[in-house]
Structure 1
Amino acid sequence: MENVKVLVVDDEKNILESVKMVLNYEKYNVQVAKDGIEAIDIFKKFLPDIVLLDVKMPGLDGLKVLKSFKTVNPIAEVIMISGHSGIEEAVEASRLGAFDFLEKPIARDKLVLTVRNAAEKISLLKENFNLRNLTAKKYELVGQSAVMKALQETIRRVARSDSTVLISGDSGTGKELIARLIHQKSVRSQSRFVQVNCAAIPDELIESELFGHEKGSFTGAYEKKIGKFESAHRGSIFLDEIGDLSIKAQAKVLRVLEEGEVQPVGSPEIKKVNVRVIAATNKNLDEEIKKGNFREDLYFRLHVVPIHSPSLRDRKEDIPLLIDHFIAFFSEENNYRKKSFSAAALTLLLDYQWKGNVRELRNLVERMLIMCRTDQISSRDLPDYINLRSETGQLSLLQIGNWKEFKARSEKMFLEQKLKEFGYNVAKTAREIALPRSNLYQKIESLGIMSGHQQDADEESPLP
């Protein structure tokens, strides 16, 4: 309990000394005050988590001091002490936010237990605050470029309405983040945000997932299921990759948008739902309509407020800010040691094309925090495919002073790129580049190529 700060306030010297002695023994950080005026002064400087406060004191009484404490720090837990327990005082203290009441003479066990309970509550409050803080950082839209400032303003304006939103943009640009921010800033923020990845659900299950089903309505329906739309009632539903929905499922989504109704699979009952729909796609829906893959009427229903999520290549000036953000986030979330990128490494990252957009950058920063052994990440620490895909990287490769290092780095770049191209399937990569599989395994090991995602053609599980 060394990090828990306790302030004891009482006009009786022997009580101050005895309570301080007990709490010091329990490893609390304790300060004392002999009256209300001194207590308020110490409270502002010491910022205690817990206060033990005498009700009856000369000058300012305990209830007035309690009120002052709660004005300065509402989450500080105040335990009132009284030699004359009165119902009226107890009620008033509770109304003002007192945590508990202790009667004089104070029993040691009761004192320790009450303070411990208050400390546990404070710990939980701090944990929840830190979690909310971390969550806010996780879902923060980072960037000062012109396109990002315009996007932030659009989100603020759209959140004030209840209109349907269609977010377009390449994979990894942050379409889910935009949807979450719209929900969090809207009047629906106290209700649920339900996310559905339409591309990840098999066609035969998508209707059940979205609209629910009755027990026995199809093979495998062993119990009744509530659909995502019903779960999102009074909140928001995010239909990610809506361009992958079947035509049949699209018709039912259209019904929700037009009528505010869902019908679970196998049920005659039609249910009313109040849901804001936010959809996203990385496809060109105009082209999908021409191909007959997407309903035009659904498109117009979704396209009330279109938002485009910009690619990272269109806002490269935000890359340093994003890197700093991800370093701070991962360091706090996973207790990684904070690191920085050298100027040369940052130049390479600014040159790189980032086909995977912000998601690819985020993954790279996390990988560097884990793998790099020094506090500064240099250009040599970056994956070779970063060097290969940038002008600066090609220059640095040509500046290598000896054939052996050039050959090793060139081989590593080539193999990393081919493994990535063929989904880290070692057998398939070996066939495509005409290299015996055993030789490829040896190269992977000797060149230190990351193997976390490599797979053999005959095995579904990643290699050790």
Structure 2
Amino acid sequence: MSINNENNNSAIDTKEKVLIVDDDPSLLRLLGIRLTAAGYQIESAESAKQALGILKSFQPQLVISDLRMEGMDGMALFEKIRQQYPSLPVIIMTAHGTIPDAINATKQGVFSFLTKPFESQELLDTVKQAIRLQPLSSTNNNDQAQHVWREKIISRSAVMETLLQQTYQVAKSDFSLLIHSQSGTGKELLAQAIHQASERSTKPFTAINCAAIPEQLLESELFGHKKGAFTGADNHHIGLFEASDGGTLFLDEIGDMPMNFQVKLLRALQEKEIRPVGSTTSVKVDVRIIAATHKNLQKAIKEQTFREDLYYRLNVVELVLPPLSDRREDIPLLAQHFLSQTSGRTTKQVNGFTQAAMELLICAPWPGNIRQLQNVVEQSVALSTESLISESLVRNALREAPAQHPSFQEARDQFERDYLATILKTTAGNVSQAAKIAQRNRTEFYKLLNKHHLNAEAFREG
């Protein structure tokens, strides 16, 4: 059973919340009407003090405030917001807008500056861009408090939401799972979430990278060994299977496991017992296996570098974790998360990204996925001398990031996947029409869809 998530492009069904702050009741009503008509959920405040009281309960994705107000003005309100909600974007409005005011406000981190009177479309465009470029606050991120099992997975994209909903369903079972994705997408985080959502959550979760362990040590690492079993075995060693008893064992990069050991792993999965190196007796183990790979295992089977019987034992349910380029709406969230992590390790006061810097992050190709994004943010913070990370810092970090060119096979697979998804979108999931466009018969076209884990149903209009 393969669970595919690469082709659900529908938006998550939530209304973005906007808090409007102005001491002019008529303008407050006018802005509320415009934004409500555009589909936003609106809350209004007639003073900065009132706005601060509303913020915690309303939890907006954007604040629009007048600059000149009685008592606390718009910039003072912005400073308070930045202290409590550093990633919440603020748009400042003023009838006294000057270039120095605008430059000063944006340097301090205000998202944008609107001078009254402004056109309705200008307002809507600015609001849309602010919400698109900025992360949602953590309190709004899919009701995280109700989803403790997935709290480490930072996302607001529809494609990830679909995957996580399906993941939760299969987590409750005890089937073996195979996670397929490119390197750097967070396979281990997904495996940990599955463990947390399962009945085994109170037992150990253990992870091992099969590509990082030399072949001669892999059996001892997984199955353990008796004292004196080989040179250097000075003590009895409990393997990861036995240490994970009752829990979950995550085998990362399973496609790199040596052929000689694959048959031993298959026997352990079938018999639910292992034999430590140097022992004459077997040990019963109760372990759920989650395996992961970036390789095409079906291709590896044809090339006789991976056992077909082991593949079907591991691949009871397959989860396809999308690359970062397929979930670009998560980039602001992830970038802000890495920024907070990195800033906590330095004395620098780096609070966010300029608009141009965030645009660049969103549009970058990200061959190294989330791991590369983390590297770019960390390098940008290290070199930053301002409170906001600039476009030039991001551009330099992207340029200096280690080149991660895909193999010819990976590039061809990516092209085929993108091409098939495009024509399925064009035909709204009509396989007959899509096959004609591709100049392939239906049988061959379905084989291509299965190869790339694409489901035509997901492209059909409701």
Which TM-score band (shorter chain)?
Answer: 0.5 to 0.7
- Counterparts in 2 of 1:380 and 1:224: CA distance versus 1, 3 Å: same
Secondary structure of the equivalent of 2:291? strand
Residue in 1 aligned with 2:152? 140
The aligned runs of 1:403-442 (5 Å cut-off) are 416=400
Distance in 2 between the 1:139 and 1:278 partners?
Answer: 19
In structure 2, which of residues 365, 389, 392 is the aligned counterpart of residue 380 of structure 1? 392
The aligned runs of 1:82-161 (5 Å cut-off) are 140-161=152-173
TM-score, length of structure 2 as denominator length: 0.53
8 Å CA contact 2:179–2:187 kept in 1: the answer is yes
Tell me the CA shift for residue 238 of structure 1: 0.3
- Counterparts in 2 of 1:279 and 1:336: CA distance versus 1, 3 Å: farther
In structure 1, which of residues 197, 208, 218 is the aligned counterpart of residue 209 of structure 2? 197
Which protein is bigger by CA-based radius of gyration?
1
- Counterparts in 2 of 1:308 and 1:336: CA distance versus 1, 3 Å: farther
Distance in 1 between the 2:241 and 2:404 partners?
Answer: 37
Tell me the CA shift for residue 385 of structure 1: 6.0
8 Å CA contact 1:138–1:329 kept in 2: the answer is no
Question: Which AA in structure 2 matches 1:378?
Answer: S
Secondary structure of the equivalent of 2:237? coil
Residue in 1 aligned with 2:324? 312
Matched, 1:352 2:358: no
8 Å CA contact 2:350–2:389 kept in 1: the answer is no
Matched, 1:174 2:212: no
Tell me the CA shift for residue 369 of structure 1: 2.4
Residue in 2 aligned with 1:237? 249
In structure 1, which of residues 240, 251, 256 is the aligned counterpart of residue 263 of structure 2? 251
Residue in 2 aligned with 1:224? 236
CA distances 1:14-56 after superposition (whole Å, capped 9, x unpaired): xxxxxxxxxxxxxxxxxxxxxxxxxxxxxxxxxxxxxxxxxxx
Secondary structure of the equivalent of 1:306? strand
Residue in 1 aligned with 2:352? 340
Distance in 1 between the 2:404 and 2:252 partners?
Answer: 25
- Counterparts in 2 of 1:309 and 1:336: CA distance versus 1, 3 Å: farther
Question: Which AA in structure 1 matches 2:374?
Answer: R
Tell me the CA shift for residue 370 of structure 1: 2.8
Question: Which AA in structure 2 matches 1:173?
Answer: T
Tell me the CA shift for residue 288 of structure 1: 0.6
Matched, 1:296 2:308: yes
Q: Structure 1: any 5+ residue segments left out of the alignment? A: 1-132, 387-412, 423-464
Residue in 1 aligned with 2:126? none
8 Å CA contact 1:337–1:369 kept in 2: the answer is no
Residue in 1 aligned with 2:38? none
8 Å CA contact 1:139–1:177 kept in 2: the answer is no
Distance in 2 between the 1:330 and 1:138 partners?
Answer: 22
Tell me the CA shift for residue 380 of structure 1: 1.5
8 Å CA contact 1:330–1:336 kept in 2: the answer is no
In structure 1, which of residues 318, 321, 327 is the aligned counterpart of residue 333 of structure 2? 321
CA distances 1:135-158 after superposition (whole Å, capped 9, x unpaired): x79962122222111111022112
Tell me the CA shift for residue 335 of structure 1: 7.0
TM-score, length of structure 1 as denominator length: 0.53
8 Å CA contact 1:167–1:306 kept in 2: the answer is yes
Distance in 2 between the 1:381 and 1:149 partners?
Answer: 31
Distance in 1 between the 2:370 and 2:233 partners?
Answer: 39
8 Å CA contact 2:361–2:394 kept in 1: the answer is no
Matched, 1:260 2:272: yes
- Counterparts in 2 of 1:141 and 1:196: CA distance versus 1, 3 Å: same
Tell me the CA shift for residue 188 of structure 1: 0.9
Residue in 2 aligned with 1:105? none
The aligned runs of 1:351-370 (5 Å cut-off) are 351-370=363-382
Secondary structure of the equivalent of 1:199? coil
Question: Which AA in structure 2 matches 1:272?
Answer: K
Question: Which AA in structure 1 matches 2:370?
Answer: V
Distance in 1 between the 2:347 and 2:195 partners?
Answer: 30
Query: Number of aligned pairs?
Result: 259
8 Å CA contact 1:139–1:180 kept in 2: the answer is no
Distance in 2 between the 1:152 and 1:336 partners?
Answer: 35
Residue in 2 aligned with 1:284? 296
Tell me the CA shift for residue 266 of structure 1: 1.1
Distance in 1 between the 2:156 and 2:150 partners?
Answer: 17
In structure 2, which of residues 222, 227, 247 is the aligned counterpart of residue 215 of structure 1? 227
| Higher relative contact order, chain-length normalized (CA < 8 Å, sep 6+) | 2
Question: Which AA in structure 1 matches 2:324?
Answer: L
CA distances 1:191-231 after superposition (whole Å, capped 9, x unpaired): 11111110000011111111011111112212211111000
Question: Which AA in structure 2 matches 1:258?
Answer: Q
Distance in 1 between the 2:404 and 2:372 partners?
Answer: 15
- Counterparts in 2 of 1:148 and 1:211: CA distance versus 1, 3 Å: same
Residue in 1 aligned with 2:195? 183
8 Å CA contact 2:376–2:397 kept in 1: the answer is no
Distance in 2 between the 1:321 and 1:137 partners?
Answer: 19
Distance in 2 between the 1:230 and 1:281 partners?
Answer: 23
8 Å CA contact 2:380–2:397 kept in 1: the answer is no
Distance in 2 between the 1:165 and 1:236 partners?
Answer: 11
Secondary structure of the equivalent of 1:278? strand
Question: Which AA in structure 2 matches 1:294?
Answer: F
- Counterparts in 2 of 1:334 and 1:164: CA distance versus 1, 3 Å: farther
Q: Structure 2: any 5+ residue segments left out of the alignment? A: 1-144, 406-462
Question: Which AA in structure 2 matches 1:376?
Answer: L
- Counterparts in 2 of 1:334 and 1:231: CA distance versus 1, 3 Å: farther
